[in-house]
């Protein structure tokens, strides 16, 4: 409480608002200016070295570079160690039953990420596990490998590559994958001319959701996977009906896909130029 001396010699109590006003009034203008300048200087302090490094490392192009390095290293390991030799010489004898199936499915998925052809893995699955179990193991590896590639592409490559989708055909393909994810991925899996890895990373760059991608990968890959697995399981009897049917299921979609691609290419050549809306 502040006491103010009156003319009569008594004291009068000042109100809190008046006291606060008096205190503010006693602060010199130069001190207020110094406080404002100090706060502006604090706000303008640049980021530290660690923060700058973190920003650079987490930038879209840094993540894309990391993806390229990872895929290049995985491809180099495949070429150097040739894991397909393990398939030709047989599965390690210490593994068997469910453990062998799980390990093979995981190895299958890992091998598909650095562009190992799936037909070789499907034939090996049939030779090692038979038609029924081999189909299940190969399909599980297919979905696992697609999920890993989709996740890597989405986390490390999408932000850097999406701004580059400026061409007419690139925008059209991106719009098809983004708006009709399930249908587009089903067509890509059923069509033998589309590489497995290419469909994975193109879908990752688009705005396709996880659920349509995984479901379409499982359903669309089933016919082709089963045909190769049966062919691998019956390779010792090439004249058996099951082997011949499997080879027909492999050859017919390939020929049909080549014919459709040729007709589509001819149609695109003769069709007039159209503008794709953004």
pLDDT band at residue 169, thresholds of 50, 70 and 90? confident
Given a contact cutoff of 8 angstroms between Cβ atoms, the answer to whether 243 and 237 are in contact is yes
Picking from 131, 89, 113, the residue whose alpha carbon sits closest to that of residue 228 is: 131
pLDDT of residue 83: 66
Give the model's pLDDT for residue 174.
87
For the chain, give percent helix, strand, coil, nearest 5: 75, 0, 20
Look at strands 3-5 and 11-13 and give their pairing: antiparallel
* Spatial distance between the Cα atoms of 173 and 231, rounded to a whole number of angstroms: 34
Confidence of residue 92 (pLDDT cuts 50, 70, 90): low
Closest CA to 112 of 149, 85, 140, 86: 149
Average pLDDT for 40-47: 50
Read off the pLDDT of each residue in 60-65 and give the average, rounded to a whole number: 84
Quick one: average pLDDT of 188-202? 88
Token pair 């590559």 is found at 161
Contacts of 183 (CB under 8 A, 6+ apart): 216
Distance CA 261, CA 269 (A): 12
Q: Is 5 helix (H, G, I), strand (E, B) or coil?
A: strand
Average pLDDT, the chain: 76
Q: What is the pLDDT of residue 191?
A: 83
Q: Are 220 and 186 in contact (CB under 8 A)?
A: yes
Rg from Cα positions in the chain: 33
Angle, alpha carbons 26-27-29 (nearest 5°): 125
């Amino acid at each position: 409480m502040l006491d103010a001396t009156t003319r009569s010699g008594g004291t009068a109590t000042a109100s809190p608002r008046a006291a606060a006003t008096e205190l503010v009034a006693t602060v010199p203008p130069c001190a207020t200016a110094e406080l404002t300048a100090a706060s502006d200087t604090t706000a303008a302090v640049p980021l530290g070295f660690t923060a700058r490094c973190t920003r650079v490392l987490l930038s879209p192009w840094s993540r894309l570079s990391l993806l390229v390095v990872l895929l290049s290293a995985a491809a180099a390991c495949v070429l150097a160690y040739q894991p397909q030799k393990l398939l030709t010489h047989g599965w390690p004898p210490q593994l068997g039953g469910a453990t062998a199936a799980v390990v093979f499915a995981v190895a299958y998925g890992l091998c598909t990420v650095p562009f190992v052809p799936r037909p070789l893995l499907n034939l090996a699955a049939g030779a090692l596990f038979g038609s029924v179990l081999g189909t299940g193991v190969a399909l599980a590896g297919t979905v696992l490998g697609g999920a890993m590639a989709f996740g890597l592409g989405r986390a490390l490559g999408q932000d850097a590559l999406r701004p580059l989708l400026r061409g007419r055909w690139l925008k059209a393909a991106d719009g098809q994958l983004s708006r009709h994810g399930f249908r587009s991925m089903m067509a890509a899996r059923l069509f033998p001319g589309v590489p497995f890895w290419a469909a994975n990373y193109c879908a990752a760059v688009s705005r396709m959701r996880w659920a349509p991608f995984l479901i379409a990968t499982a359903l669309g890959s089933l016919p082709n996977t089963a045909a190769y697995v049966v062919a691998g399981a019956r390779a010792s009897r090439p004249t058996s009906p099951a082997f011949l049917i499997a080879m027909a299921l492999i050859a017919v979609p390939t020929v049909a896909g080549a014919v459709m691609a040729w007709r589509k290419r001819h149609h695109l050549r003769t069709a007039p130029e159209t503008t794709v809306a953004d």
